[in-house]
Amino acid sequence: MSSKTVALIQLNSAAIKKAMLLAFSAWFSFLIAVLLGVDNPYWAAMPVWVIAQSTRGLTVERAIYRIIGTLIGAGAGLLILATAQPIWQLVLMAGVIFCSAGALHLLAGVRSYMALLSGITVSVVVLPALLAPDQAFDLAWARIQCTLIGVVVGTLITGLGTPTSARQTFYKQVRQLASDAVQTAVLMLTHQEQHKVDQMLRRVNMDISQLEAQAAAMAAGSVEGHKRNAYVEALLFAALETLAAARQLHCQIHRGLQISPTAIKQLEDFSYQFEQGIALAPLRRQDPELMPNKVSLARLRRALGQMKRAEAALFADRFPFWRTGVSLRRFGSGRDWITARRVAFVSATAGFSAGLIAYLTQSPALELAATGVCIFSMLLGSLPRPHLIVRYVITGVTIGALLAAGYRLGIQPYAQAPFWMVMSLLPFVLLGGLARANPPTTIPALDAMMCFLLASQMGMPAASLSQVVQGSAALIFGAAMVCGSFYLLPRQTEQWARTIIRLIIKDLHDVVQQRPPQGVSQWRARISRQLLSLLQWMGAETPKGLLGLMNFGYGVIAWQRLTGRETAHYQLGLQVQAILHDFDRKPEESHGRLLALAQSLSDPQLAYAIYDIADALDESTPVLFFLHSSTEKTRAN
């Protein structure tokens, strides 16, 4: 066997078992639909391929949301068909798709699957009815029946044969990450090699973003898992806060302030004991008599205190873990309104346009193409970087459509009896199951099986050569149009990253202008979510200085509290506010003016507060440069 074949085929015993369960679930669902006399029984085999996941909990939860989404979409579709004329049916269908596609980026975790299915289902209910209005209700009812059959059978068979989620292992990874964050803090506070510090800091930041992205899937299917997710998030938030606080202390030490060796030893002990799950002692205050020129550990102590409480709750046996009233800081909402609006508009416009062409031409082939446009525009629109998988999607669609054409021409005319009809599906689901369970072919195999079932019309009367060719070609054409559009769209990695940074800068400007500071806890949650989104979006390409942005906000808030209206330093506070008016566009100028002002002050507390703002602004300069670099390039050209 050649090396290329070995690289392509990676099936072990577990993968083969999964393939057999998938194949049997799809085949058995089709069998039940045929025995019950459901119209278009091939629809019953389709949900199986989508709901099957790597863990049992995720399979069950996706099955539940698929049923809910299908019922919502089917109900909306029937209501549209009963109350509107054809053109208005398309308009209303596009409206439902608009809401569903937008909700994909507003609903957290597995719940977004409900929105995906509601948008897809309304299209598969409304579009066929445009060509056969007298069969609208029967088609919709058949879709619902098939979905229920496929979801129930697939969940029972594949779910029972799927391993449970390794949540305890995941929780230990989160705890290890928090321990690594404390160890990174030690490196920053002891002036270790800067290259080593930057490398460790980048790795921990990336781990925080990756573990947060995995949390919803790990908790899926478990009420307790979803409860504990709050503590996972609180622990990750505390890790990010620890890094930011340590970065601020690093700058203070660089300016000449001191941290006691005892505090460093406590941090090292905290990291080790935390990793081992040993009971933790709180980080003690530094003695001002022994350390007169000391840094303040208050912010770091708060972050470690939350880390300690969140870890204890995460691994506790019972809920609630502590008394009512003790809260944990968490990331803000992950709703992406900008992407939601874009995807909603694109999906709704594509669905309406394709449906209108199918209605005006009254072509069954174009109706199938319109269905493909609706499905794939929502599927690709749900992904952050759809251009990365379009080649797999179009490959799978093409293979599935060609197999379907071969089936309809070579097998379907001789497999009209129920027994032979059911048996004719068996080799295809076996092949599809093996391809779906094989890691290198997982993505195209899913699209191939879905399109094979959709285009084969299994269970329907035999068709002529022209009908078969038109149907398969239309499905390939519809998918190719959507995939090509997503592939040709400009790569928006940097553009979207700049959008996130602009939101951060806007919030920081609000913090600068608000005297006294308001909504501090909401700002803290929001900026931590924005930093997390930036890390998840850009990965290793994320510019340096993110923690500087967070520390800049903290520094401004601390300064405003020192120079409130009721204090003797109110005018000084206004002076700093004026200096920071254009901090994002002129960071070097603002930094220099802050240093000059701090050096002129005799009150060390006020001077240190300004130094903290200046240090954070200086550290965040790479991010600000990244933000404005595109504008400068455009002007230069």
User: What is the structure's pLDDT at 284?
Assistant: 65
Q: What integer best gives the mean pLDDT of the chain?
A: 83
**pLDDT value of residue 592:** 92
d(CA 313, CA 310): 5
Burial of 595 from C-beta contacts in 10 A (0-12 / 13-18 / 19+)? middle
Helix intervals (H) in 539-603: 546-562, 570-579, 587-599
Average pLDDT over residues 226-232: 86
Q: Is the pLDDT of residue 192 over 70?
A: no
| pLDDT for 288 | 56
| pLDDT tens digits, 494-547 | 777 888 899 899 999 999 988 777 888 888 889 998 888 888 877 778 888 889
219: left (phi over 0), alpha (psi -120 to 50) or beta: alpha
- What's the pLDDT at 635? 42
Per-residue pLDDT reduced to its tens digit, 257-271 = 888 888 888 888 888
Q: What is the pLDDT of residue 139?
A: 76
**Which residues are bridge partners to 258 per DSSP?**
294
Mean pLDDT of all residues in 207-218: 85
Count of alpha carbons within 13 Å of 438, Cβ hemisphere only? 17
Burial 171-181 (b: 16+ CB within 10 A, else e): bebbbebbbbb
| Span 448-470, pLDDT tens digits | 888 898 888 887 788 888 888 88
Cis peptide before 128 (omega within 30 of 0): no
pLDDT recorded at residue 1:
46
Bigger pLDDT: 387 or 445? 445
What is the percentage of the chain residues whose pLDDT exceeds 90? 15
Predicted local confidence at residue 552, as pLDDT:
94
What does the pLDDT read at residue 220? 78
Cα separation values, 374 from 381, 395, 636, Å:
11, 18, 42
pLDDT (tens digit per residue) in 561-583? 888 777 778 888 889 889 998 89
> Nearest to residue 547, comparing CAs of 256, 264, 239?
239
**617 — pLDDT class (breaks 50, 70, 90):** very high
* 605/554 Cα distance (integer angstroms): 15
pLDDT class of 431 with cuts at 50, 70, 90: very high
pLDDT at 632: 47
pLDDT digits (tens, 9 = 90+) for 85-135: 888 889 999 999 999 988 888 887 788 888 888 888 888 888 888 887 777
Residue with the bigger pLDDT between 620 and 160: it is 620
3-state per-residue secondary structure call for 590-603: HHHHHHHHHHCCCC
Residue 637: what pLDDT?
38
614 has a pLDDT exceeding 90: yes
Q: Are 122 and 371 in contact (CB under 8 A)?
A: no
* Peptide bond connecting 320 to the previous residue in cis, omega within 30 degrees of 0: yes
Angle at 541 between CA 538 and CA 543, to 5 degrees: 95
Over range 432-453, report the average pLDDT: 87
pLDDT of residue 324: 45
Least confident residue range of 333-337, 540-544, 573-577, 608-612: 333-337
Average pLDDT on 7-19 reads: 75
Structure confidence at residue 297 (pLDDT): 85
Answer for the pair 239, 300: CB distance below 8 angstroms, yes or no. Answer: no
- Banded pLDDT at 325 (limits 50, 70, 90): very low
Comparison of pLDDT for 174 and 382, the residue scoring more = 174
Name the amino acid, one letter, at 619: E
* 510, containing H or E segment: helix 493-513
CB half-sphere exposure, 385, CA atoms < 13 A: 13
Strand, coil or helix: what is 287? coil
Sign of the Cα torsion 607, 609, 615, 618 reads negative
Residue 553 and residue 523 in contact, taking contact as beta carbons nearer than 8 Å = yes
Question: pTM, whole model, 2 decimals?
Answer: 0.82
